[in-house]
Amino acid sequence: MFSCDQYLIPESLDQALQMLARAPTGSRLLAGATDTLPWARQGRGGDLSGDAHIAWVIDISRIAELKGYSIDAGRVRIGALLVLQEFLEAPALREHLPVMPYCAIWFADDQIRRQATLIGNLVNASPAADGTPPMLALDARLEIARLEEASVVRRSVALEDFVSGPGRTSLQPGEIVTAVECDSAAGYGGAFEKVGQRRSLVISTVCAACCVKASAERGLFEDVRLALGGIGPVPVRLREVEDFLRGKPIKLELIAEAASLPTDRVASRTRREYRREVIRGFIERALVDALADCGIHIEQTAKETAHG
């Protein structure tokens, strides 16, 4: 049996923070709740072979200010309750975050995507979390709320600094992540690569997120955003690859050279050589696919450049 002493459903952020401040040790904050049983099975919520018990469950799914998204001044703000399915269905999100539909389609299955939240995926801080590399690549920052002298106070922290290790973040007791804000990538092409033990409901062994802005007329990479998950204790931004490609001509041989740059970033305890080979192929394919997503087909471009 999976049980709790109290199941609380706050109607406002202030109410949720007050409940969280009073909650006994062992309480659980829920948004989409898709990871609750895995969380318990990993030993963090009890042993499900017997009885798993949580003191209080605080379900924040009815808090209106945590829902939806907004786009302003080149930044996209995503509320804590926005589910992964929205990246497949909302035209504005598809336009401004072109990498996220490719990420979302790989995420679990239809039922889970309609319940699982992006921010829940970020807060879980899995080294292989699908949502973290795309957000890292787009300079994401998390908005975090807490109570201070009975008032709601917010702070902002870069996602790169928020995740500190497997399951570890800079989130403090009594705090709630209310939103994530990232760069708009309107006009970019997006791509997402992922490999695991099976095709369906797969947990990543390695995943890669890519956004590319390119000039077909000039045949140049104008901007490149790349990040990887599953190669070490935390997902990583590949700034050395971005810097290498930015402003350079779009050529297959240059892409292949760039794809070899981060292989020494693999810091996993297992299957290191496998991961090195995977990330080389993933980066190359992600760059080619992201270019195609913004209308530039690399084979044709390479031939034109060779004859130009």
**pLDDT at 85 exceeding the cut of 60:** yes
**pLDDT at 268 exceeding the cut of 90:** no
- Nearest CA among 124, 160, 102 for reference residue 29: 124
Q: Taking the CB of residue 42, how many other CB atoms lie within 10 A of it?
A: 10
For residues 222 and 292, membership in a common domain is answered with yes
User: Among the residues of 75-200, which ranges form H helices?
Assistant: 86-89, 91-96, 100-106, 110-113, 118-124, 132-137, 159-162
Average pLDDT over every residue of 34-53: 58
Residue partners of 167: CB distance under 8 A and separation at least 6: 124, 125, 126
What's 248's domain CATH number? 3.30.390.50
CA angle 172, 161, 156 (to 5 degrees): 65
For residues 40 and 115, membership in a common domain is answered with no
What's 113's domain CATH number? 3.30.465.10
For the chain, give the number of residues: 308
Mean confidence (pLDDT) of the chain? 88
**pLDDT at 65 exceeding the cut of 90:** yes
Q: Taking the CB of residue 302, how many other CB atoms lie within 10 A of it?
A: 18
pLDDT of residue 276: 84
Last residue of a domain, one of 137, 165, 183: 183
For residues 18 and 83, membership in a common domain is answered with no
Is the whole model's pTM more than 0.85, yes or no? yes
For residues 39 and 69, membership in a common domain is answered with no
Site of tokens 């998204």: 69
For residues 49 and 80, membership in a common domain is answered with no
Q: How far apart are CA 210 and CA 172, in angstroms?
A: 31
> pLDDT of 112-147, one tens digit each?
899 999 999 999 998 889 999 999 999 999 999 999
pLDDT band at 273 (very low <50, low <70, confident <90, very high): confident
**pLDDT at 307 exceeding the cut of 50:** no
For residues 241 and 130, membership in a common domain is answered with no
**pLDDT at 219 exceeding the cut of 50:** yes
Residue type, 171: L
Q: How many domains, the chain?
A: 3
For residues 165 and 248, membership in a common domain is answered with no
**pLDDT at 199 exceeding the cut of 80:** no
Question: How is residue 234 written in tokens?
Answer: 């935390």
Last residue of a domain, one of 162, 183, 204: 183
For residues 221 and 276, membership in a common domain is answered with yes
Query: For residue 199, what are the CA distances in angstroms to 14, 25, 110, 204?
Result: 41, 38, 14, 10
For residues 281 and 203, membership in a common domain is answered with yes
What's 29's domain CATH number? 3.30.43
Average pLDDT over every residue of 19-45: 76
pLDDT of residue 48: 44
- Nearest CA among 188, 172, 57, 167 for reference residue 123: 167
For residues 279 and 193, membership in a common domain is answered with yes
Domain span holding position 127: 64-183
Cα 161 to the center of its chain, rounded Å: 14
Helix (H) or strand (E) holding 164: strand 163-165
For residues 158 and 254, membership in a common domain is answered with no
Last residue of a domain, one of 131, 157, 183: 183
For residues 264 and 208, membership in a common domain is answered with yes
